[in-house]
Structure 1
Amino acid sequence: MKKKLLAGILSLAMVVSLTACGAKNETASSKAVSSAKSSASVASTKSSASAASTASSKTEGSDFNKLVEAAKGTEVSFYGWGGDDKLNAWLDEYFAKRLKDKYDITLKRVPMDIDKILSQLSGELQAGKKDGDIDMIWINGENFKTAKENNMLFGPFAETLPNFEAYINKDDKETYYDFAFPIDGYEAPYGKAQLVFFNDSKITPETPKNTDELLEFAKKYKGKVTYAALPDFTASAFVRNVIYDIVGYEQFADMKADKATVKAAIEPALEYLRKLNPYLWQEGKTFPSDNPAVTKMFADGELVMGMSYSAFGVATNIENGTFTDTTRTFQFDKGTIGNTNYIAIASNSGNSAGAQVAINEMMDPEVQADRYKVLRTIPVVQYEKLNDEQKKAFDSVDIGKGVISQAELLSKRLPEMPAGLVPIIEEIWNEEVVGK
């Protein structure tokens, strides 16, 4: 393990992710909270669980009971972005209670942005802290790549978990690659996200099906269309979707992470974005700070279109009165980018046994069905692997008004770019598109 990491350098390399992914950009950011353990007894139980876990971390699912026994009576911390109140409530009330009742594990949710999480973890590793405060981490994309390459994560563990083996689709590329970066068992799937657009059919009957139609749409509703400034997670995905629509996505799968190479490949899309600018809000001279700001502008009538990485989020906003009941979701004909967000374990976790048990439980079909119902998160379990009773739990979920069906979404799901290309594209966008 590399223990002499430079936190400052790492911070520059990190791209804040959502959900950590799409969900992060649908609500306001949260403040980091202290990760100090509440008592010496908790630290002691975490330490003993970690020791037991180390011996069994490379075992098959048949030894999962050893992890369950080691984790009993312990506390496991879950670090991740905390700006989604509905998700926070689900974790605190449903998932935490389930872990306590079923395994006698106490879940401690620690809301913190991913860059701060990795900075804290880096500091702990530099200091040689063996029983760290961070157990589970909500992560994906460039952040996962950074953490894995710097030996900041525990594993491999994912493929030893019973629910991973029983319910996760082994043919899904996202099971093994996160933004085209090999997972190698160092994180397990948490939820799926996919970019969608939305507008109000009473105000704008059109639903642009490609970038050409989007340009005409922006011209017709001049000043009432925009997207957030990059590196906002959702806006960055939108720019990559524009790139895909114009130049395709196949060439990026094995493209060298070289700025000149990337710029040459995406130049037609950059030219399109520059053409789009004059018809955007503030004529593209400036952009809203983040996607929650864009969503609020849409809800207030300042914009006629928005976007989200929460595929079914429009239904929630209709139900709570934020959006009108004539708001509807749409996609480009060629599809929209989707990704999976994951849970990893810190390499110096004080309770890696408890973390593995909790992550396994997150992949339980009953838990995934409840997430689907309450949070409207695209499930990570494979429907075909479920029994009839489990299928009924998913089939009975009403995903709400104004949204695209899961089947249609996934039929037009486009792969994410390699993680190393994402910050390069964001840098080029800031140089070549803003104010041009």
Structure 2
Amino acid sequence: MAADRPWDDVLAEADGQTVDLWMYGGEEAGNAYVDDVLAPAAAELGVTLRRVPVADTGDALDRVLSERQAGVTDGEVDLVWVNGENYAAGRQAGAWLCDWALDLPNRRYTDPADPLLTDDFGVPVEGCESPWHKAQFTLVYDSARVPEPPTTLAGVLDWAQANPGRFTHPAPPDFTGSVFVRQVLTSVVGGPGEVPLEFSQEAYDEYAPALFERLATLSPALWRGGETYPQSQQELDRLFADGEVDMTMTYGPATLADLVADGTFPETTRVLTLEEGTFGNASFLALPSTSGDSAGAQVVADLALSPEQQAAKADPGTWGQFTVLDTGRLEDADRAAFEELPASPVVPPYAELSRNAQPELSADWVSPLDEGWRRSVLAP
């Protein structure tokens, strides 16, 4: 959308369009939110929102790149709930439409200086994707089984070795498993700020050996002796729910309250707040350059950024995702909707959870560390 194009023109063009939102299909609460809350609101604006579940958002990127190569201008992907790695790869390949997201009317409710909204895994956003919600990498434990939890990540690893079989993590390249490996990297080399955010082979050669040595030492003490790993966060959550391990982990801790409320997780589930902090980031919606319904996609992205939708999505009973809005910029009634959200005995407020939040390493770190883990920790 050009900055000088009236929003009413975008709404008029979007009327009657169908927007295919490709998103990870394993997030049940997220699926329900899109189907039951966001889609009906989009319909009121004349846009049909159709959720397309995928096992990996890389599938959406692959489809967009195939369409670009074929010269398609009315592609099957109109909006993508994209992760930082796929956003970076798509930016390099010209997969995403740019110069639209900063002009959405509801963008005025965000803080333009918020670093989580200006960079995505080290890649400038620059109006090429619209923020959806914030996330914080979080370790989770059962306080009934771990009454005196460690307070640092180094302490967690030591605890795991002292309690064989009670801890594990998803195997990279699972998203949560990958971020756990990166988090351990920052810990073993001396803490946040020691590893350069930008990837270089020199930095990898300097810092990665200590990471893989620590994880290889830890592996025999993990669940099933480190002979096998959960393949996803969902598998790890099942182990935690069944009492096979005492900790799990997530980049979406706001959903924990609902998992406790519905009995999936024990009532004694608690968030493990680490002294040094953990990685924080934001989720975004990207608009493919091959979309034939880009006006409708912009309308949906703007709607998703509205105070009403952000508050609904932040409710633990709906999805429980942290807002990207700066609530100080909202009207009193909209701000009240956030203030009235139920407090959780499981999940601390975002301000507490994100204390000492660390910026994510750039996306270029992800694949080398995943492959290095496979060769150095899994293969032996």
Normalising by structure 1, we get a TM-score of 0.83
Residue in 2 aligned with 1:81? 24
Q: For residue 329 of structure 1, report the CA deviation from its aligned partner.
A: 1.0
8 Å contact 1:325–1:401 — kept in the other structure? no
The one of 396, 406, 419 equivalent to 2:340 is: 396
Q: Distance in 1 between matches of 2:76 and 2:155?
A: 50
Contact map agreement 2:20 2:49 (CA 8 A) in 1: yes
1:306 partnered with 2:248: yes
Share of identical aligned residues, percent? 32
Task: Give the AA of the match of 1:73.
Answer: G
Q: Alignment partner of 2:253: what SS?
A: coil
1:328 match: 270
What residue in structure 1 maps to residue 327 of structure 2? 383
1:114-129 mapped onto 2 (5 Å cutoff): 114-129=57-72
Residue 269 of structure 2 corresponds to residue 269 of structure 1: no
Match of 1:19 in 2: none
* Partner Cα separation in structure 2 for residue 387 and residue 353 of structure 1: 27
Shift of 1:435: 5.5
**3-state DSSP of counterpart to 2:354:** helix
Structure 1 counterpart of 2:350: 406
Residue type matched to 2:106 in 1? N
Once the 2 structures are TM-superposed, how far is the Cα of residue 325 of structure 1 from its aligned partner?
A: 0.8
Q: Which runs of 4+ in 1 moved over 4 A?
A: none
> Aligned residue for 1:70?
13
**Which one of the candidate residues 90, 103, 106 is aligned to 1:160?**
103
* Conserved 8 A contact 1:191-1:378: yes
Question: What is the CA distance between 1:341 and its match in structure 2?
Answer: 1.1
The answer to whether the 8 A contact 2:172-2:370 is kept is yes
Structure 1 letter corresponding to 2:84: G
Of residues 325-334 and 207-216 in structure 1, the stretch that sits farther from structure 2 once superposed is: 207-216
Amino acid at match of 1:326: T
Aligned length, in residue pairs: 376
Aligned to 1:146: 89
1:264-312 C-alpha deviation (Å, 9 max, x unpaired): 2233332222222221112223322222111101111111111111112
CA contact (8 A) 1:190 1:380 kept: yes
Native 8 Å contact 1:284 1:435 kept in 2:
no
| Partner residue of 1:423 out of 367, 373, 380 | 367
Shift of 1:180: 0.6
Q: Retained in 1: the 8 A contact 2:39–2:48? A: yes
How many angstroms apart in 2 are the aligned matches of 1:65 and 1:185?
Answer: 20
Of 219-228 and 207-216, deviating more is: 207-216
Gaps of 5+ in 1: 1-56
Aligned residues of 2:216 and 2:377 also touching (Cα < 8 A): yes
Secondary structure of the structure 2 residue equivalent to 1:250? coil
Work out whether residues 19 and 79 of structure 2, in 8 Å CA contact, stay in contact via their aligned partners in 1: yes
Pair 1:287 & 2:229 matched: yes
Aligned residue runs from structure 1 range 203-218, under 5 A: 203-218=145-160
> Which secondary structure state, in structure 2, belongs to the residue aligned with residue 110 of structure 1?
strand
223, 234, 238: which is aligned to 2:176?
234
The residue type equivalent to 1:231 in the other structure is: P
TM-score when scaled to structure 2?
0.94
Cα distance in 2 between the residues matched to 1:218 and 1:250:
25
Residue aligning to 2:186: 244
Q: Show the counterpart of 2:142.
A: 200
| Matched-pair contact (CA < 8 Å) for 1:135–1:350 | yes
The Cα shift of 1:361 comes to 0.9
Instruction: Please list every run of 5 or more consecutive structure 2 residues that lacks an aligned counterpart in the other structure.
Output: none
Establish whether residue 172 from structure 1 lines up as the match of residue 114 from structure 2.
yes
- Work out whether residues 228 and 291 of structure 1, in 8 Å CA contact, stay in contact via their aligned partners in 2: yes
Q: Partners of 1:171 and 1:126 in 2: how far apart?
A: 36
The Cα of 1:249 is off from its aligned counterpart by 3.6
- Deviation of the 1:416 alpha carbon: 0.5
SS at match of 1:91: helix
Displacement of 1:80? 1.3
2:298 to 337, 342, 356: 356
What root-mean-square deviation, in Å, do the aligned CA atoms of Structure 1 and Structure 2 show? Answer: 1.6
Contact 1:156 1:185 in 2 (8 A): yes
